[in-house]
Every structure is written in C-alpha cells, then in structure tokens.
C-alpha cells in the first residue's frame, strides 16, 4: 500500500510503563500498512518484546520520514529540539496532561495515524530559539529551546537586576524575579502563567515576559522574530538561566544571555480536522457561550 511515510520511528515517554501497550499496538498497525518501524534506545529499554530495529535519535533523524511521540508535551519538546536539524516530521499521541503539542488522542490514534499515512494531515512549522550564555568572551553554553529561555533568581530569593538590549539598543532595566523569552509555542506554557499573551504558533515573533517585576510598568512586549536579544545580569546573588525547564546554566553578575531565532524549525503534523481555536477552548476551559 502506498503511504506518505515509509519509515516511522516510535518514541515513548521515558520511564512510563503505560505507553508500552499503545506503542506496540501502533507498531503492529503501521507494519500491517507496509511501514518500516523503529524505536529509540530509551524506548526499547522500557518496552519489552518490541522486536523492531533500535536507532539512535541521530539515526532516526537521518532515516525516518516521521517520528511519532507517545507521551506528553515535555517528551515532544525534547525530541523536537533534537530532530529539528534533520527536518523530520513529528506527530504526538497524548498520554500526558495538557497536550498542546501532542494532540493526537489515544482513543483515535489508529484512525488519525492511518489518515496521515494516506496524506491527510495539516503541516505546521514552529520556530525554535538559540541561546548563547557568555561570560566575557567565553561561551559557557549554547542551547536550543522550543518553548522559552528563562532567566530567574535562584534559591537566595532576592530580586535580580537585568538589562535588556534589542539589536544592541537598550530596551530597559528590570528588577524582578526573572524574565522569559518565549516563542509562540511557549506562549501557552510558563509565559502564560506569568501574564504573557497567547500567540498563534504560525507567527515568527519573540515575547519578553517579566516575572513578578518590581515596577508594574514593566509589561510583556512582542518583538519581531529576527531580532537579537541580549540579557545582561547586573546584580544577582544567585541567578540562573533555564532552557525549556530541561537544562540550566548558573549565572554571575556581568554574564550575558544572547537569544535569537534558530535557523532550524520544527515540522509538526496535526490531524486533518485540527482546529487551533477549539484546542485553546478545550485546554484552557474557555466557554463557547457567555456566562457559562
């Protein structure tokens, strides 16, 4: 049978035994459709009797047409960052909580994946951001993030003093618990909790969202996606920068976090009937009728 995807990699949520059964069932479904199926090493280690080739994520990136993530948004964030340089299409089966990125229901998994094999799906490109952590001329770290880069105070509890520059021009000085640089994808994550706006994921923009600023005049601001942001730590007893809440780097006074749009994008596949606004209503519990 002709399919849109000849080789599909299945990647499960780490150390989650509940994904074993749906993953094996999906593997059999794909193979019955004439699709080559592989799994990554971490999935293979926790799903017994899978009998499929085990490929590293780099090998998956080089050989797979589609990677299906079975888990939650956190798993998708990690896999998307890793596979973005290879331009592998990604789809997510949600066994987590919110499911903003993993929007294929496990109850309709076979019908939805079957439709995708037949070419019935919606493709969406999502931007990533690349960050360099600089101490003078020394690069301490360089990380790609899908949701956000968050500069925050540490365990000491005191406010941190930051300066923000846009393309080399000063935007403002800020005393706050922290500052977020969020992508449109990240606008419904930490940035939303901090009072930032919801941005349509098709946009190529960056949002700066202060976290508990000392001055209430410091508000979120949306900037073009092609700018270079520089966050300079002026005063901080204990500060750090987090990337998608996945990794972090300790900061000292004088350190700079430089953020810009990454040259790679994430290519997400959605079901053919995907409705972004319906998804927002469902996930955020917005009412369809006033007063309800």
Residues with catalytic roles: 73
Distance between CA atoms of residues 74 and 242, nearest Å: 14
Beta bridge partners of 261: 129
Neighbours of 140 (CB within 10 A): 17
């Amino acid at each position: 049978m002709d399919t849109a995807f000849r080789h599909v990699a299945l990647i499960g949520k780490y150390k989650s035994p509940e994904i074993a059964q749906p993953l094996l069932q999906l593997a059999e479904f794909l193979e019955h459709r004439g699709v080559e199926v592989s799994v990554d090493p971490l999935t293979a280690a926790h799903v017994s009797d899978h009998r499929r080739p085990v490929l590293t994520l780099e090998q998956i990136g080089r050989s797979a047409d589609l990677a299906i993530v079975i888990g939650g948004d956190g798993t998708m964030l990690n896999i998307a960052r890793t596979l973005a340089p290879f331009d592998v299409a990604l789809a997510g089966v949600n066994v987590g909580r919110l499911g903003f990125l993993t929007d294929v229901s496990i109850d309709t998994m076979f019908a939805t994946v079957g439709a995708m094999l037949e070419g019935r799906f919606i493709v969406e490109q999502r931007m990533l951001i690349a960050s360099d952590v600089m101490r003078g001329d020394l690069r301490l770290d360089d990380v790609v993030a899908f949701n956000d880069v968050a500069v925050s105070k540490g365990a000491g509890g005191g406010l941190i003093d930051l300066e923000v520059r846009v393309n080399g021009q000063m935007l403002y000085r800020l005393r706050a618990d922290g500052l977020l640089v969020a992508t449109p994808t990240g606008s419904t994550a930490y940035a939303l909790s901090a009072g930032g706006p919801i941005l349509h994921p098709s946009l190529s923009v960056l949002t700066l969202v202060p976290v508990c600023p000392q001055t209430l005049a410091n508000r979120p601001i949306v900037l073009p996606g092609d700018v270079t942001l520089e966050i300079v730590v002026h005063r901080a007893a204990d500060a750090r920068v987090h990337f998608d809440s996945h990794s972090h780097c300790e900061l000292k006074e004088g350190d700079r976090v430089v953020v810009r749009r990454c040259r790679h994008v994430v290519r997400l596949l959605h079901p053919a009937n995907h409705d972004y606004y319906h998804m927002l209503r469902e996930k955020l519990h917005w009412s369809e009728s006033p007063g309800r």
